[in-house]
Amino acid sequence: MLQASLIVRFIMKSRLRSALLWITWGLRLALLVWLLSSLVPPRARAILGEPQQVSTTKPKLCLHTRLIDEVYDWKIQRSLEMIRQMGASTIVEFFPWAYFEPSAGQFNWQRADFIMRHAENQGLRVLARMGFVPEWARPASTGQISTFNSLPRQSYAAFGRFAAQFAVRYHHLLAGIILWNEPNLDYEWGYRPVSPAEYAELLAVAAPLIRQAAPSVSILGGALAPTREPPGSPHGMDDLIYLEQMLEAGAAQHMDMLAVHTYGFTAPADEPPSPDRLNFRRVELLHAILQRSAPLPIAITESGWNDHPRWTKAVSPSLRIQYTLDSLRLGESWDWLRYHCLWVFRFPTPYYAYPDHFAMATTLFQPLPIYYALRDYAQGQPMSVVRWLPAPR
């Protein structure tokens, strides 16, 4: 009996030991799995290299970038590098207010710091476009759903204070600050009726705050969308009429430069301007209107041609190159033009639609023929290579 009891006890003990062993190893294995699963490859870092300088013969050449929504740091760096190599010395970049001041008075400049640091490293100056209203500064609900473009009058000062903080922080790198984008379109004006007087008021509130905080920073107003919306249209206002009215409302005294968007669509660069045509030289009409109020210079902050095969406002890739270069040459001859910025260097992700065909490089950084043509132009060289085969016959 005693022997049997000892045997049972032994078995029990050894079972317990074995169970404990299993549990221990199980825990070890779980720990190992957890450790392995928490291992992720490090994100590619974008380390600042030697400071660079832009080598160019065309100081007005500038590209609009889309860096702020880029996830990967190295892609921001690569974009700026390619722009510098092309020979553009200035970029226009959007700095959405909502990204940097998510709560009133609480700033997070991390992303802007990164972009600015890398722009500086490549020897580039920045025209900073401001807009995109944070939730806290949008109108209280009045039945209409607000958008990121809904800026009520009571938030003009808050917007101005944000722009002033931005100007102070980056004044040494800024070519200027563009206050708002295309306020003559309803959706860019938060679906309120567009109003040149209200926009002039926005400038009157924001500009003094920026000037006081960072007197060396240029303030750009306007950035109107080229459009021939008829009077009373709910969608927007003709840019020529809008400009006249915003100047009548006193906007000129709150700007150092007028920002202009002028696209060629299907017309060649030298097509004469006319109020009933949307073409590149529409900028001359805007300039003439501006000169009647104030002798301010102009910055073209968006321009270019599109080469989508089916969009009704596009041209072929070779015409796009020709018209773009012609427009730049025209711009060179205008002493009132400070910057000539082309839309757009590259998109972070493709639209899979015609807007992709405004880009100079694919999302995978493949330079498009227009990129090489602009590089040759900026370096003062003749266009180097035709990169496609002749049409088959």
Partner 1 sequence: MVARPTLRRLRWPTLAFLILVIVLAWPRDDAARQRDEARRLIASGVLRIGIDASYPPFASWQDGQLVGFDVDLGLALAEALGVEARFVPLSFDGLYDALKTVQVDVLISALVYNPARTAEVAYTRPYYDNGLLLVSRAERPLDAMAAIVGLRLAYQYGSDADTEARKWARRIADFDIMPYELPTHALDALCLSQADAALVEATTYFLHARQSKKLGRTCPAHAIYVTHNPYVVATRLDQPALRNALDSLIESFQRTGRIDTLRAKWL
Rounded Cα distance between 276 and 287, Å, is 16
Q: Is 384 in the site for partner 1 (CB under 8 A)?
A: no
What is the Cα 292 distance to its own chain's centre? 31
Contact yes or no for 211/163 (Cβ under 8 A) = no
* Least gap, CB of 369 to partner 1 (angstroms): 6
Residue 382's Cβ-side half-sphere holds a number of Cα atoms within 13 Å equal to: 2
Nearer to partner 1, 90 or 149 (CB): 149
Rounded to whole angstroms, what are the CA distances from 241 to 201, 247, 336? 17, 10, 21
Binding-residue pattern over the window 304 to 343 for partner 1, x denoting contact by CB under 8 A = -----xxxxx--xxx-------------------------
Interface with partner 1 (CB under 8 A), residue total 33
Name every residue whose Cβ is closer than 8 Å to that of residue 335 and which is 6 or more positions away in sequence: none
Rounded Cα distance between 352 and 190, Å, is 26
Q: Is 141 in the site for partner 1 (CB under 8 A)?
A: no
* Least gap, CB of 23 to partner 1 (angstroms): 43
Q: Is 389 in the site for partner 1 (CB under 8 A)?
A: yes
Tell me the window of 42-50, 122-130, 131-139, 348-356 that interacts with partner 1 (CB under 8 A). 348-356
Nearer to partner 1, 221 or 369 (CB): 369
Tell me the window of 81-89, 165-173, 303-311, 322-330 that interacts with partner 1 (CB under 8 A). 303-311
The two three-digit tokens of residue 201, written as one number: 């008021």
* Least gap, CB of 282 to partner 1 (angstroms): 17
Contact yes or no for 286/337 (Cβ under 8 A) = no
Q: Is 99 in the site for partner 1 (CB under 8 A)?
A: no
* Least gap, CB of 191 to partner 1 (angstroms): 6
Q: Is 140 in the site for partner 1 (CB under 8 A)?
A: no
Residue 305 one-letter amino acid: W
Q: In sequence order, what DSSP letters do the residues of 163-220 get, joined into one string?
A: HHHHHHHHTTTEEEEEESS-TTBTGGGTTSPP-HHHHHHHHHHHHHHHHHH-TTS-EE
Q: Is 351 in the site for partner 1 (CB under 8 A)?
A: yes
* Least gap, CB of 315 to partner 1 (angstroms): 11
**Interface residues with partner 1 (CB under 8 A)?**
144-145, 147, 149, 185, 187, 191, 309-313, 316-318, 349-355, 362, 364, 366, 368-369, 387-389, 391-393
